[in-house]
Every structure is written in structure tokens, then in C-alpha cells.
Amino acid sequence: MKMKIIILIAFIILILIAVWLLNVFTFKRIQILSRTPDIPEAATIQYTPPPRPKFSIPSRQQLGNVMAMMKKTIEKVTDGVYIANNYAFGNVIMIETSSGLVIVDTTENAKSARKILSEFRKITDKPIKTIIYTHGHVDHIFGTPVFMEDRPQIISTRTTVEFLKREQGWMNPYLKLSRRIQSGRADEAYAMKMPIDIGFEGFEGETLIWPTITFDGFYSFKQDDTLFELYETGGEAPGHLIIWIPQKKLVVSGDLFYPSFPNLSTPMLAARSPEDWIKGLEKIISLNPEYLAPCHALSLSGAEEILTRLGNYRNATKYVFDETIKAINQGKTVEEAVSDIRLPENFTRLPYLKEYYGRVDWAVRGIYHRYTGWYDGRGTNLNPLPSGHLPREIIKLSGGVDKILAYAIEAQKRGEHQLAVELADIVIKAHPDEKIARVIKSYSLDYLGYGAQNLNMFGFYRSAAAMERKKADYKP
């Protein structure tokens, strides 16, 4: 027995020696060649900026729709239920019971919340007994101090509290940056003038009041003779909830429905869960409400109309999710999936599924990000060159920085602004101090923003243009 063990050990040692020798005489002879290309010469090309962009006709139409939707109103949904629309980015919903009030969400800042409470006090002077957070996004929670005079209980899901610990804790600096960029307000001094001022007061410097009652899954309570049923759904954010008031046949839907294709993936933030969003919509449909009170739009009434809209909303979301999962399982890259996946015409003709806030291509990217890794299996991006190497080689092959930028300017004049941006980026990556490339890029970003029909896309482009100008120390 001992002899067998000795032989086995000797055999293993021989294998290890063989592997070592193979490595020494074979693999170590193969070296990955790498060098650092020279930084190209600075640009000498002259550049005259194009005229300031104007909104395209479709964008003007959308701007008109946005302005119409921005009108401040206190809307009566049904007896005892009111929505404050457009005093801030998020709505506040007031539900009146016999001895007090329930407030759902509180907007993003105290200044807007005070205006809303002043309007509510024209309707009733009853004390506020309960505040409910539908979820933890900043436009739903930071006006709370204004509503605390009567020391109400504050209800949310337990998951929302954990979400807030992250969002208002160790991730907060990045999230503030992403909000500024998404809203188009990064480096404001270098940006083109905003086409409209929607009048919202912003998010900075606000106080978070933490929930006093939390739950998992389901929670119900009675305030006087009114029953409130709270269902945790997820979707828009981890821990998102909806509220069902059986006596009024009313659902407060939070952010699961608004008049746009849903924002399943915000480009600078963690991708959201389409499955939870779909399940949340199905839960609302199962309740068969006669009134729907959203947190970013006017209310809906009539069971048939509500079920039709929510059914289409769910089906469109499910279609994009299913098609994206199919593309993943077929081995398609994310770019191939983005190119292939489009909403069917029966959805695109519906005004409440236009891509005004969310976008289908962003949703596809978000689903890929949730369910796949960063490597596409093609080899090139497994161990890529440092970011500036390939651009420097391209510039060398093309004959210099001026050649690339001259072509970018011609592309810009032809209206090919994405091409102009990407050509300018080649120069910027190769030569980060190159200012002319950044200025050229900034103007094409302006044009891309003004041609967008999506609120978030406009904001991202406006901020990106301003950041390029700041790095170039150039003001338009």
C-alpha cells in the first residue's frame, strides 16, 4: 500500500515538472508586445462654431406637451383624494379621512413642499397623521420636514430604508453628480441657455426624515374608517410600494406608470428590475381600480381605461424584456440587441408609450448590465489597450490631428453630429489637452441634445457639452 502511495506521489511530481518545463520552454517564449505610442502634435486647424441649434419640429411639439403638463394644479381625484401636480418634480398626494390626513410622498425639497401644503390647507385643516413613502428616490422624500408639525408616523418598506442608507450614505456624492448631469445642470456656466425653466427648486441640502414603521411584502392599517393596503412591488426602485384603498377603489401607483415608456434603465445609475415592474403592474391590474393616482402625472379614472393603459404598459415592458433575454441567449452583443429590438407599432402609436422619459435602447442596455458580464466573448475587449493607444495609432495613420478634426468639422456641417463627436473623441483620448477637439465636440453635443425628444437625453447632452467646454476653458 505504501509503495502505491509513493508511486502516485512520484507520478504527480513528474507531471508538475513536465508542466513547469513546458511553461519555461513554450509559453514564456510568447510575449505580448506592447508599447506606448507618441502623443500626436497639437491641432493647428481653425474652427468657427456653427449657429446655435434650434429645436426640431418634433421636439417643439414635445416641448409644447411638456409645458402643458407643467401647469401647477391641485387635482381632485375622487372624494377626499387630491394630487398636487407640478409644484415639484414629484407629486404629493393627500388622502383625507374623518379625523386626519395621509400624505403620500413629499417631493424633493422643503420650498416646494411648503407651497403644496399651503394649497392643501385651503381644502382642509385636519392634522397630518401618516406619511407614506412609495420609494426612496429623492423627488419623493425630501419635503417631509414641512409635513411633520403633527408628528405623523412615516411608513415605507424595509428595503426602502436599506436603499436610502446606500443612496444617502456612501454612494451619495456620485448620485448627486449623476443627478446634476442627468438634469443638464453640470458646469452650468459653460452650458447653452436652457430652452425652458421648469421652475423646480432642486435637491441639494435637504433633510431626510427616516420612516418610523417599516414592513416586508405587505402592510395594512386603518385610519379612522379608511383601510389602506400597502403592497411591496419593486420596479422603479428597490422596495417600491403601491397603495390600495378598497373603499375608494383607488390605487396610488407610485412611479410604476407615467405617460412615457418606463425608465427601466437610467444611464448613470444601477439598472432597474423589469420583472418587478411587470409584476407591480400586474398587481395593480388585479385590483381592478376605478381611480389611479400616479406620482408623476395627472390621475386616471374609469376601470376600463385604466386596465387598457396598464395592460399596454405591462405588455410593452414585457416585450422589451423578453426580446432582450432572447438576444442574450442567442449570444448577441448588446450593440446587436440595441440595433434589433424595437417596440411593435401597436405600442409606438400610443402617446403614453412614447420615449419621452425612458428609452427602449437604454432598457436593453440595462437588462444586459443586470444579467451579463462586461466581456462579450469576441476577444478584443478581454484585455484592451490603454485608452489612448489606439486613437494615437489612428491619428498617425490618418496623417495627424488636423486631418481627423477637419473631417469632424465637415461631418458637423453635414449634420452628422454623432460622427463628429466620435471623431473628436479619438483626438481627445490621444491628446487630452487638445482644446479645439473639445470645443468641436461640445457643439455637436448641443445639436444632439436639441434634436432629442427625450427629457433625460437632452439633460445628458447639455451637461456633456458644458463639461467639454469647461475642460477647454471656453464659454459659448
Confidence of residue 33 (pLDDT cuts 50, 70, 90): low
Whether 47 shows a pLDDT value over 90: the answer reads yes
Instruction: Report DSSP letters for 231-266, one per residue.
Output: EE--SSSTT-EEEEEGGGTEEEEETS--SSS-----
The reply to whether domains 70-168+208-371 and 389-472 share a CATH topology is no
Give pLDDT tens digits for 66-123.
555 668 999 999 999 999 999 998 999 999 999 999 999 999 999 999 999 999 999 9
User: Distance between CA atoms of 241 and 236, rounded to whole angstroms?
Assistant: 9
Report pLDDT for 192.
87
Give pLDDT tens digits for 330-385.
999 999 999 999 999 999 999 999 999 999 999 999 999 999 999 999 999 999 99
Could you count the other beta carbons within 10 Å of the beta carbon of residue 286?
A: 9
User: Distance between CA atoms of 257 and 309, rounded to whole angstroms?
Assistant: 9
| Sheet bearing 73-78, strands edge to edge | 73-78, 81-85, 92-96, 101-104, 128-132, 153-157, 213-215
Report pLDDT for 196.
64
Are the C-beta atoms of 348 and 261 separated by less than 8 Å?
no
Give pLDDT tens digits for 126-165.
999 999 999 999 999 999 999 999 999 999 999 999 999 9
Report pLDDT for 57.
56
Confidence of residue 199 (pLDDT cuts 50, 70, 90): low
389-472: CATH class: mainly alpha
User: Distance between CA atoms of 84 and 75, rounded to whole angstroms?
Assistant: 6
Report pLDDT for 69.
60
Whether 198 shows a pLDDT value over 90: the answer reads no
User: Distance between CA atoms of 295 and 84, rounded to whole angstroms?
Assistant: 9
pTM over 0.85: yes
Amino acid identity at 432: P
Report pLDDT for 8.
59
Instruction: Report DSSP letters for 34-87, one per residue.
Output: ---PPPPPPP-----PPPPP---HHHHHHHHHHHHHT--EEEEEETTEEEEESS
Cα dihedral across residues 56, 57, 62, 65: positive or negative:
positive
Give pLDDT tens digits for 382-410.
999 999 999 999 999 999 999 999 999 99
Report pLDDT for 96.
98
Give pLDDT tens digits for 218-275.
999 999 999 999 999 999 999 999 999 999 999 999 999 999 999 999 999 999 999 9
The CATH homologous superfamily to which domain 70-168+208-371 belongs is Metallo-beta-lactamase domain (3.60.15.30)
User: Distance between CA atoms of 160 and 215, rounded to whole angstroms?
Assistant: 10
Whether 464 shows a pLDDT value over 90: the answer reads yes
Q: Which three cell numbers stand for residue 102?
A: 395621509
- The whole-chain average pLDDT of the chain stands at 91
Amino acid identity at 27: F
**Beta bridge partners of residue 244, listed in sequence order:** 229, 251
Report pLDDT for 318.
98
Domain ranges of the chain: 70-168+208-371, 389-472
User: Distance between CA atoms of 257 and 268, rounded to whole angstroms?
Assistant: 21
Q: What is the mean pLDDT of residues 191-220?
A: 80
Whether 31 shows a pLDDT value over 60: the answer reads no
150, 156, 210, 280, 426 from 292: Cα distances, Å: 28, 20, 27, 14, 50
* Cα of 119 vs its chain's centroid, Å: 31
Report pLDDT for 36.
86
